[in-house]
Chains A and B, each alone.
Chain A
Amino acid sequence: MNIDTTERLSDHLVSRREFVKLGSGAVAMLADGTLTKRAFAGRKDRKPKPGNILLIYTDQQHIDTIAAGGCRHVRTPALDRLKTNGVSFTQSYSANPVCSPARSAVFTGRTSCETSVYKNGIPIRSDIPNIGQWFSQHTDYETFYAGKWHLPRTYTSNIPGFEVVNTGIGGFGYLCDTAMSRACKGFIKNRSKSKPFLLVASFMQPHDICEWLRLNMNNPGKLRYPELAGELPGLPDNFQFDKNEPQSTKKRRLGNEPFKGNWDEEHWRYYRWSYYRHIEHLDAEIGRILSALEDRGYIRDTLIVLTSDHGEGMGHHQMVRKSSFYDEAARVPLLFSWPGHIVENKTDAIHLASGLDMVPTLCDYAGIKSPASMRGASLRTILEGDDSERRDYIVSEGNTNTGRMLRTQNFKYIKYVDDPVEQLFDMTNDPGETKNLAADSHHVSALAAHRKLLASHESRLDVPRDVPHTEFWRARG
């Protein structure tokens, strides 16, 4: 088949590209990173641009779900391939461990409260461009989107700045992702090579674990498939933990299926086994897209990025699902590969990374300035082997703008609105976050320093006044 895809896609795809008029002269501005100068030095050096960019966005993927990363409970050839071909960050955090807010941050480079998306189902505020709009206006990359959007509609044929390749269907990842990856395969196979593309492949899986939880809430008292008994993963090391927690965290835990359904250890372990099967399903669908890139000859000239909106409880702290600031929900996979340009097979356990880094990084690779007021930083220098600089901290927002998590190299600090219980964890000596040190007399200065960092961070944000609790956080600045 030999078609002029560029023209015909516009005729046949379900959404026309929408352009927005954005202010000119916008410059990249980092509020809190120490990577600023080096990170953006690349533009002047005319560093190479990838022929195409593929952003694979997963939904609810726990960071420890890649066989090549050491997870013994899954087989993930596609994720393994991405990991071994590039750099994977182990200290990578969602900017807000809830679907829509996390997505708003990844696609704009602004914090979720700045975008107005402090909870699910709210659109990004109109004066902040998403990456599709920005690329459409400032690059020659054509921008395409497939799958879950959720800003505000979960699935839609109308996404500003993107042509929608396939919408997907709500809530049913197994069926949705299969059709979505098939659409991406067709898109890649049929596309002419005349123009570079930015394609977002946004998967629903492993989010179907939410349906699994509702369909397995009641503890049956015995394993439905006794033959699985020997292969169920064990409970996580931090299944037991310090119960000195904020009220909202306790409430969330008790409102979830394991406590409503009176789970025993075996049912917890069956849940973990089932979650890994969702991961394997996701992996196979990612593999379909990678194979299409390879078959079409794109694979070596495509920057491939994979991340997730948030993680999954998986029994750590006896949690399921998302929303908490514990690492199981807040930390997410973040993989970059581009053969010959990004360091191969490197696990970066040093640098803190955030979903807020996505836009600055992609803009850096595309050779353009980022939109104004970026809250993250380009990771390009790190991806290309320079380990010399480290940022001081990253911040995640959450819980309908009632919570904050501030992560430094050694500690994690968590604070909620109107809750006297703060949390402080020594992430070096207690990576499982089992002992809250906030009330420990030996950590008074560390607690004060983290409060101060958070206050400083909040004072620089540009949050619409109608976002709840804006004044609370601003007052702390």
Chain B
Amino acid sequence: MAKKQTIVGENLTPTLLKELGAVDKFPQTPASFQPDGNWTNNYRIWTCHGYRESGNQTVGSLQITRNVDSAKTFVLKVRQEISQTDGLTNVVHGTIKCRINKLASPVEWKLSSLFLGTDQREISELSSNEDGQIAEGADRVTGDWCLFEAVQRLAFEKQASLDFDLLEGMSLSKHRHHLSYRGTYPMKTNGGGIPLHCFSQLGRGILPAEYWLDDHHRLLAVISMNKAYILDK
């Protein structure tokens, strides 16, 4: 008998993530959490095939750690793992020094991409490293991982918006991006609704991305088309 496959039919939102079983409830933000302080956020990378019953799965993880290192800069440590078929894993990790400005503009960075085989050993022939720096004054550029930090420091108001060029994965340049506050929407739960704040990002080379935050300005989820970064423990 053919499997039942109900088309989702609408854009993914936190409410829909819950309906689809991708999240039950988001972790509670500790009282000590300060967006401009030192913190670590761990996300699951979850993907959706567009059906309710099948094909939806967690395929990786992203960890971002913020540490203030000077009065003008902070450092993001990033580690992203994406599972490939037949037991391979792509790991991207590195550090990005950012300016303390609205965009978290990168100053300099070092990143490595490596692949792990089924035995978890590195396949060194596929590894590559990247580093780069951006001169002071080029403040209209930011990275996708930098936005995970920057959006937590934005005010929840319609005037809060950013215009920038995106350096995706700190390596691919994508122009004319705009991030703006869309408002507050409830995430429907069994007991009612939790208000979440939403920013949206539009620009070349990406599908629209929505950043969902709680009242404490902690980033709970980033959703772009069929992909969602979901805050984990």
With A172-B47, A186-B125 known to touch, is A215 a contact of B85 (CB < 8 Å)? no
**B85 engages A157 (CB within 8 Å):** yes
Q: Among B49, B88, B126, find the residue whose CB has the most chain A CB atoms closer than 10 A.
A: B126
Interface stretch (choices A96-104, A162-170, A317-325, A433-441): A162-170
**Inter-chain contacts of B171 with A (CB < 8 A):** 288
Q: Which of B51, B82, B204 touches A175 (beta carbons < 8 Å)? A: B82
The reply to whether A171 and B90 form a contact with Cβ atoms under 8 Å apart is no
Q: Are A215 and B48 in contact (CB under 8 A)?
A: yes
Q: Is A190 an interface residue (CB 8 A)?
A: yes
Q: Contact check: which of A3, A14, A171 meets B124 at CB < 8 Å?
A: A3
Q: Find chain B residues with CB under 8 A from A175 CB.
A: 45, 47, 59-60, 82, 227
* Contact A261/B9 with A12-B125, A171-B55 known, Cβ cut-off 8 Å: yes
- Give Cα A14–Cα B85 distance, bound, in whole angstroms: 11
B206 at the interface (CB under 8 A from A): yes
Q: Does A208 contact B (CB under 8 A)?
A: yes
Docked pose: A183 CA to B88 CA in angstroms: 11
Residue among B121, B127, B208 making CB contact with A186, cutoff 8 Å: B127
Task: Please state if B50 and A215 are interface contacts (CB–CB under 8 Å).
Answer: yes
Determine the distance from Cα of A218 to Cα of B6 in the docked complex, in whole angstroms: 13
Number of B residues with CB within 8 Å of any CB on chain A: 56
Enumerate chain B residues within 8 angstroms of A21, measured Cβ to Cβ. Answer: none
Is B74 in contact with chain A by the CB < 8 A criterion?
no
Task: Count how many pairs of residues, one from A and one from B, have CB atoms less than 8 Å apart in the complex.
Answer: 171
* Cα distance, A165 to B169, chains bound together (Å): 21
Query: Does A114 sit within 8 A of B, measured CB to CB?
Result: no
Q: Do A170 and B85 touch (CB < 8 A)?
A: yes
| B38 located at the interface, meaning its Cβ lies under 8 Å from any Cβ of chain A in the complex | no
- List residues 64-101 of chain A with CB under 8 A from any CB of chain B: 75
Asked if A27 is an interface residue, CB under 8 A from chain B, the answer is no
Roughly how many angstroms separate A3 CA and B123 CA in the complex, as a whole number? Answer: 13
Q: Which residues of B contact A227 (CB under 8 A)?
A: 178, 180, 202
A40 to chain B, nearest CB (A): 36
Does B117 have its Cβ within 8 Å of any Cβ on chain A? Answer: yes
Q: Which of the residues B85, B127, B128 comes within 8 Å of A156, measured between beta carbons?
A: B85
Contact with A along B48-89 (1 / 0, CB 8 A): 111100010001100000000000000000000011111110
Q: Which of A45-53, A275-283, A423-431, A449-457 contacts B (4 or more CB under 8 A)?
A: A275-283
A189 / chain B contacts, CB cutoff of 8 Å: 128
Q: Assuming the A-B contacts A156-B86, A168-B85, A261-B9, are A215 and B168 also in contact, with contact meaning beta carbons closer than 8 angstroms in the complex?
A: no
Q: Which residue of A lies closest to B16 (CB)?
A: A215
CB of A141 closer than 8 Å to a CB of B:
no
Q: B90 to A214, Cβ gap below 8 A? A: no
Tell whether, in the assembled complex, residue B128 and residue A167 are in contact, meaning their CB atoms are under 8 Å apart: no
Is B113 in contact with A215, judged by CB distance below 8 angstroms? no
Q: Which chain A positions have C-beta within 8 A of B47?
A: 171-172, 175
Residue of A nearest to B127 (CB): A186
Is A183 in contact with B50, judged by CB distance below 8 angstroms?
no
Determine how close the nearest CB of chain B comes to the CB of A115; give it in whole angstroms.
Answer: 23
Which B residues are CB-close (under 8 A) to A280?
174, 204-206
Cβ–Cβ contact A214 & B49, under 8 A: yes
In contact, A182 and B9 (Cβ under 8 angstroms): no
A190 contacts B126, CB within 8 Å? Answer: yes
> Does A168 lie within 8 Å of B49, measured CB to CB?
no
A214 to B178, CA, bound (A): 26
- Are B123's CB and A225's CB within 8 A? no
Q: Which residues B178-231 have CB closer than 8 A to chain A?
A: 178, 180, 200, 202, 204-208, 224-227
Say yes or no for B145: interface residue by CB 8 A criterion.
no
CB neighbours (8 Å) of B118 from chain A are: 14
Judge whether B126 and A214 touch: CB under 8 Å: no
Contact call A169/B7, Cβ cutoff below 8 A: no
What is the minimal beta-carbon distance from B93 to any residue of chain A, in angstroms? 12
The residue that A165 contacts in the complex, of B59, B126, B226, with Cβ under 8 A, is B126
In the complex, are the beta carbons of B174 and A172 less than 8 A apart? no
Does B10 make an interface contact (CB < 8 A)? yes
**Inter-subunit contact B86/A211 (CB<8 Å):** no
* A211→B49 contact, CB < 8 A: yes
Q: Is A215 in contact with B11, judged by CB distance below 8 angstroms? A: yes
Most chain B C-beta atoms within 10 Å of own C-beta, residue among A185, A210, A215: A215
Scan A170-197; emit 1 where CB is below 8 A from any B CB, else 0: 1110111011001101110111000000
**For residue B48, which residues in chain A have a CB less than 8 angstroms away from its CB?**
211, 215
Residues of B within 8 A of A257 (CB): 7
Chain A residues closer than 8 Å to B82, beta-carbon distance: 169, 175, 178-179
Least CB separation from B122: chain A residue: A12
Which residue of chain A lies nearest to B207 when distances are taken between CB atoms in the complex? A277
Q: Are A12 and B86 in contact (CB under 8 A)?
A: no
Would you call A274 an interface residue if the criterion is a C-beta within 8 Å of the partner chain's C-beta atoms? Answer: yes
Known: A212-B225, A214-B51, A277-B205. A224 touches B11 (CB 8 A): yes
Q: Name A167's closest neighbour in chain B (CB-CB).
A: B85
**Is the Cβ of A225 less than 8 Å from the Cβ of B202?**
yes
Chain A residue with minimal CB distance to B60? A175
Distance in Å: Cβ of B175 to nearest Cβ of chain A: 7
Could you tell me the distance between the alpha carbons of A300 and B113 in the complex, rounded to whole angstroms? Answer: 26
Contacts A228-B202, A277-B207, A287-B172; is A168 near B124 (CB within 8 Å)? no
List B residues 126-180 near A (Cβ within 8 Å): 126-128, 168-169, 171-175, 178, 180
- Contact (Cβ within 8 A) A157 B9: no
B98 within 8 A of A: no
| Distance in Å: Cβ of B92 to nearest Cβ of chain A | 7
Shortest distance from the beta carbon of B127 to any chain A beta carbon, whole Å: 5
Is the Cβ of B169 less than 8 Å from the Cβ of A166? Answer: no
A-B CB contact pairs (8 Å), 15 listed: A3-B125, A12-B117, A156-B85, A166-B90, A167-B85, A168-B84, A171-B47, A171-B49, A175-B82, A211-B225, A225-B202, A277-B204, A277-B206, A281-B206, A284-B205
Knowing that A170-B85, A171-B47 touch, tell me 4 more A-B residue pairs with CB under 8 angstroms: A157-B86, A174-B224, A208-B225, A225-B200
Pairs of residues from A and B, 6 with the lowest C-beta to C-beta distance, nearest first: A214-B50, A155-B85, A186-B126, A179-B90, A167-B85, A280-B205
